[in-house]
Structure formats: C-alpha cells, structure tokens
Amino acid sequence: MLLVLSAEHRAHLGCLPRAGGAAVGELGRLALEQLRRGAAPRACETAARKLNIGVDTIQHGVEGLVYLLTESSKLMISEVDFQDSIHVLGFSDELNKSLLQLYLDNRKEIRSILGELAPRLPSYHSLEWRLDVQLASRSLRQQSKPAVTMKLHLNQNDDQTAQVLQTDPATLLHLIQQLEQALGEMKMNHCRRIVRNMK
C-alpha cells in the first residue's frame, strides 16, 4: 500500500534536500519531539540558527516529516512501500535511506503516541429491553400505544455506564433498517478498502 502525498506535503518535504544530509537527522528529531510534546517554535529557531537555514524551511520540513511518519505508521507501511511512497519525491538515494531508517526506528513509538492521542470511546457491554403497551386511559377506553424501552450498558475506562432510551416501534424499525443498510454498504469493496486504510 502506497502513501499518497498531497502537493502541500510534497512541497514541505521538498525542503529536505536543500537542508542537507546532516539537517535531516535534526529535522527528524524535531518531528519526533513535536509528536511527543507538541509544537516547539523555539526548538525550530535554535535548529535554524545551528544549521544556518530559514526558520520557515525548518518548520515546513518538520511538518512534512510529521505527516510522512504518522501516516506511514498508522498504515504500518512495509519497507518497500515506504520507499516507493517517497521515491516520487525525487530525493537522492542517501536521503531516501535516511528517511527509511528514521521511519523504521520510530514507527512503533509513533503508533503508541497516536494510540494515546486517540479518543477513548465507550464500548458496548449489554442491552436490556422491554416492550410496554398502553391499552386504555381515562380519556380513551380503547387505544394501543406501544413503546420500547432499552437500557444500554457501556464500558468506558474500566467503568460501566448505562443509558436509558425509549422509542416507538416504528422509529425503532426505521433505525434498524438504516443500520442494516449501513452494514450492507460496509461489505462493498470501496468501503472495505477505506476501513483497511484506517486501521
């Protein structure tokens, strides 16, 4: 699977050959620090003075590397696919090897950082439901008013929570049809490809 780089990301990475071989290691270190701790403008200014390069060039190079490393790590791109992805940039073999080594050395750490940044969403535990039907009231002697009450138990951060939901059968049936349609669409090749790339 190849990583497709936009024109903007190509432009940001395009400053790497101008920065020189020694600068790639420094930009890689800054990119990893940005992933760990967030943006550090002072570190970019210090690197710019040390390497005698413009601050904008350093910042663009770091942004390009952050994108390249995070997207490649998300998709767990193989060595060959990574090389093919950066080959389109037209870099020298030495620069391509430096980028590959930077990726291989840090992809596990980057995946763990991205995992920590991902939102912790609640997960399904169990569902209780009940069907209530009101057959009569003081004002109406004969009526049929069904209602479905559901208690949805969720796990979130080792805690259990419950949500109580109530609806009429017609709305519930519509919701079921919509979910079945969405599940049917998930079986299409296009959706499978998207889901594979998200993992």
Sheet with 159-167: strands ordered across: 123-134, 145-156, 159-167
Whole-angstrom CA distances from 165 to 85, 144, 172 are: 48, 20, 11
pLDDT at 198: 57
Taking residues 44-67, what's their average pLDDT?
Answer: 82
Place of tokens 């992809």: 107
pTM of the model: 0.58
Question: What are the sequence ranges of the domains in the chain?
Answer: 7-117, 121-167
pLDDT at 19: 63
Contact criterion met (CB below 8 Å) for 85 and 78 = no
pLDDT at 96: 84
Within a 10 A sphere around the Cβ of 135, how many other Cβ atoms?
A: 11
pLDDT at 153: 94
Q: How far apart are CA 154 and CA 118, in angstroms?
A: 18
